[in-house]
């Protein structure tokens, strides 16, 4: 069901056929946001419709509740409408058929207008193929080649190569960023201001991004992915996660380290990033480390996106542009002892990544874990599994 929480396709409008995206939240199944746009621009009058949903026997009925517009930066906002405008917006209905993940049908309006809607999950015929490293030394060679041959500039580590690139917000089944910004993020802001004793000006890009960085490092589900400028910091997080969660993931044999090219970072680095953007996007986000020592220590970088399957979306960009932007290396978890000892020699430990006593405790906990627990061998399940 998770892949059905975000759908892409087209919708006929009075001005012509537009690209479309429909976003659902798993905890609000009776609503959806229907975005539509042309090329790189949003319609001047309406960029998205909040719709009520009724489902029955493969049929989805939509009823328009309110209309959102896009501001100069492309962010969705809810205007104050007159009674006649509200009546017009609520005059839209749609009846769609759902089959095998495909949703299509017709919308109608009380004025007599009508059009076709066609939606389906994100598609890409090219999947990311990670390079298999047989040793920690192989990974260090890969990191050097990623930098020298592909100009890799940003890295991210996963404790299991079975995980793909997806933000914690999307993993939680939340795809409506306009709702996230209006509810969850504003509530976090009020608590953060009380705890830190400072005010965040949400109309200021630096304050806005700083709040997002704090949310990222303090456990709030968010539409961000942590990256770092160092492949070795990314590797540290990958191995640390694999060791700490080894008992809950006994069949995992490899960690994965991703890399993004400098070309992608440069091309997708807008001066202003708006979370509830009217069309699909993945963008880099610069966040000040002020009041966030972890971000400074981890050489943190961020990607922000409104796309649930971020990895597939990045692969689709590669497919369209013909340019390499995303790479990955899989390293055996059995290399953890050697890797963490080598990283410690480089000055990379939990104590340096997480300044304070929490980091010291995490460092010692990791040392106790990997020294006394047998690690899975590449290609073989760990002992005790069936």
pLDDT value, residue 3: 54
- Assess contact for 229 and 301: CB atoms under 8 A: yes
Neighbouring CB atoms inside 10 A of 104's CB total 15
Beta-carbon contacts of residue 385 (< 8 Å; ≥ 6 apart): 250, 251
Whole-model pTM: value is: 0.85
Domain chopping of the chain, boundaries: 2-120, 131-372
- Assess contact for 285 and 303: CB atoms under 8 A: yes
Tokens representing residue 76 in the block: 């969705």
CATH architecture assigned to 2-120: Beta Barrel (2.40)
pLDDT value, residue 371: 53
The dihedral formed by the CA atoms of 69, 72, 76 and 80, expressed in degrees to the nearest 10: -50
Q: Which residues of the chain have pLDDT under 70?
A: 1-3, 286-300, 351, 353-386
pLDDT value, residue 219: 83
- CA pair distance 20, 197, nearest whole angstrom: 42
- CA pair distance 277, 282, nearest whole angstrom: 10
pLDDT value, residue 357: 47
pLDDT value, residue 382: 39
pLDDT value, residue 44: 86
pLDDT value, residue 119: 97
For residue 104, what are the β-bridge partners? Answer: 97, 118
pLDDT value, residue 348: 81
- CA pair distance 315, 124, nearest whole angstrom: 7
């Amino acid at each position: 069901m998770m892949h059905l929480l975000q759908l892409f396709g087209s919708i006929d409008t009075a001005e012509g056929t537009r690209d479309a995206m429909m976003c659902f939240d798993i905890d609000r199944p009776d609503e959806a946001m229907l975005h539509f746009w042309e090329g790189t621009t949003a319609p001047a009058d309406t960029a998205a419709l909040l719709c009520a949903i009724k489902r029955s026997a493969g049929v989805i009925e939509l009823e328009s509740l309110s209309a959102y517009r896009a501001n100069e930066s492309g962010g969705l906002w809810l205007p104050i409408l007159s009674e006649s405008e509200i009546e017009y917006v609520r005059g839209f209905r749609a009846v769609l058929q759902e089959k095998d993940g495909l949703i299509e049908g017709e919308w109608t309006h009380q004025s007599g207008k009508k059009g076709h809607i066609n939606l389906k999950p994100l598609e890409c015929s090219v999947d990311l193929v990670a390079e298999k490293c047989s040793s920690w030394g192989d990974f260090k060679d890969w990191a050097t080649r990623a930098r020298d041959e592909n100009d890799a500039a940003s890295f991210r580590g996963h404790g299991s190569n079975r995980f793909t690139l997806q933000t914690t917000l999307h993993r939680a089944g939340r795809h409506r960023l306009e709702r996230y910004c209006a509810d969850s993020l504003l509530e976090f802001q009020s608590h953060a201001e009380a705890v830190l004793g400072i005010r965040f000006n949400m109309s200021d890009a630096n304050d806005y991004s700083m709040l997002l960085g704090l949310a990222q490092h303090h456990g709030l589900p968010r539409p961000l992915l942590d990256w770092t400028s160092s492949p070795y910091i990314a590797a540290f997080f990958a191995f640390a996660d694999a060791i700490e969660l080894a008992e809950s993931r006994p069949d995992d044999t490899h960690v994965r380290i991703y890399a993004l090219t400098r070309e992608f970072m440069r091309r997708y680095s807008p001066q202003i990033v708006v979370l509830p953007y009217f069309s699909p996007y993945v963008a880099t986000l610069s966040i000040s480390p002020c009041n966030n020592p972890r971000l400074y220590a981890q050489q943190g970088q961020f990607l922000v996106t409104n796309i649930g399957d971020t990895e597939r979306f990045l692969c689709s960009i590669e497919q369209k542009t013909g340019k390499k932007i995303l790479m990955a290396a899989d390293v055996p978890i059995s290399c953890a002892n050697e890797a963490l000892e080598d990283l410690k020699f480089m000055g990379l430990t939990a104590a340096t990544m997480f300044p304070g006593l929490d980091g010291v405790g995490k460092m010692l906990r990791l040392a106790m874990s990997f020294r006394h627990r047998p690690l899975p061998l590449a290609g073989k399940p760990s002992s005790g599994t069936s």
